[in-house]
Amino acid sequence: MSSRVARTAMALLTVLTASAAQAEDKPICPDRPGRGTSACTLDQGRAQIELGLFDDSFQHRSGATTDTDNAGSLLAKWGVSEGADVEAGLTLYQQQRVHDASGTTIIGGIGDLFLHAKFNPLTSAPENESSPFALVLAPFLKLPTAGGGLGNGAVEGGFVLPMSYDLGNN
């Protein structure tokens, strides 16, 4: 995919996303697939889909060059209760190219599946609804769905504790 096509697609997606976000009373709660965890949760009964069109990383170390491309990083979210949501994320296609003195190896396929739950303990108290401080408890689990050497083949899990503070003027 050429960089010009990628930039055009990103610009179009940004315009469409901004237009949709302006139609809502409440700001969207993005987690940018593969990039971070926000300190917010979706409202109960709401769904949200996020898509990372294309990411590329490049590393050169000890005589080896590694290029990693991800296309279609998808994240689906559902608000299950007031202050809680569940999420599932998957990269639809990954490719890794390693070049060193012995030659070039290219592997590709689907990525690992990430499951996430987010719970905001502060939303249960009405006095916290307008608070500038936000805190989310977020356990996650990675299931090894990537094949052919793209993932490590292990089930992994952890806990993320994102926080934010609104300094004013949104």
Q: Given a cut of 60, is residue 18 above it in pLDDT? A: no
pLDDT at 124: 57
* Partner residues linked to 91 by β-bridges: 73
110 in a structural domain: yes
Q: Which residue type, as a one-letter code, is found at position 110?
A: I
9 in a structural domain: yes
109 in a structural domain: yes
Confidence of residue 23 (pLDDT cuts 50, 70, 90): very low
Q: 15-44 burial string, b = 16+ CB within 10 Å, else e?
A: eeeeeeeeeeeeeebbbebeeebbbbbbee
Range of the domain at 66: 3-165
33 in a structural domain: yes
**pTM for the structure as a whole:** 0.73
Q: What is the pLDDT of residues 112-125, one digit of tens each?
A: 999 999 999 887 55
170 in a structural domain: no
107 in a structural domain: yes
Measured distance CA(51)–CA(75) in Å, rounded: 6
The domain tally of the chain equals 1
pLDDT at 28: 78
CA 76, 42, 82, 37 dihedral sign is positive
116 in a structural domain: yes
pLDDT at 1: 45
27 in a structural domain: yes
